[in-house]
Amino acid sequence: MRIAFFDSGIGGLSVLEEALSRRPEVEFLYYADTDHVPYGQKSRAALIDYAGSAVSFLLAAGADAVVVACNTATAAAIDFLREQFSAPIFGMEPAVKPALAETAGRRVLVLATPLTLREQKLHHLLDAVDPAHCADLLPLPGLVAFAERREFDGPAVQDYLQQALAPFTLANYGAVVLGCTHFNYFKDSLAALLPAGIQFVDGCRGTINHVFHTLGLSAGDAGVGTVHYFQSGRAVTDPVQLDDYHILLARLSWLRHL
């Protein structure tokens, strides 16, 4: 079984890390569209084109299923991908429903890219799961750029987050939804600015639960899956780049428990 993960850059590693933590005996492919990152402020038409090329490449490389490990690409292109390809195509969506369920009527702050927040997919979800209008939306496109520069903390990140969060009375919130897979790298930086007790909720665990269940995979400790990395269709073989991915996965593994 080969499962592929596709993202604009390093964000989807947070979904891959969740899959690796289950240790299935699976071969993974990871495709970062580094030629076109970031996705969050591009047009829907462009993202459909990028996503179609990525999924076509991954299926030709032997993938049995593809996880669009990017909320933005899912919002823009998942319907097109499922119409275009017969293989199982899984997407991501901001984990608003579990966040609302876990906060007992308190407000929920949904962090995502501008495109994710304006696409109808999210608004249909909110209509279905948030009749009391407890969710507020905050675009944070700058975090994608910080992540791609491997700048996860420090004064510039803190200043950016402080300014973005300033309009919100944070004591009213019970959860923060990380609605972009890049945002998982910033849990510690966000935690430093948020009141104690606010939960982080993302879609990684739920997505992998769904993927494994649909594909009939066990979540036991059958072995550690191997990963083959690609950047916009080019195999990653440089040891420095591979080590960078391993370091990023290690950071995500540490942050997953915050």
Q: Which residues are marked as active site?
A: 70, 180
Pick from 202, 192, 186: which is nearest to 148 by CA?
186
The dihedral built from the CA positions of residue 194, 92, 36 and 255, taken in this order, carries a sign that is: positive
What is the rounded CA–CA span in Å between residue 156 and residue 115?
Answer: 24
Cβ atoms of 69 and 182 within 8 Å: the answer is no
Per the DSSP assignment, residues forming a β-bridge with 175 are 108, 199
Q: Which residues contact 147 (CB under 8 A, 6 or more apart)?
A: 9, 10, 11, 182, 183, 185, 186
- The pair of structure tokens assigned to 28 is 């993974």
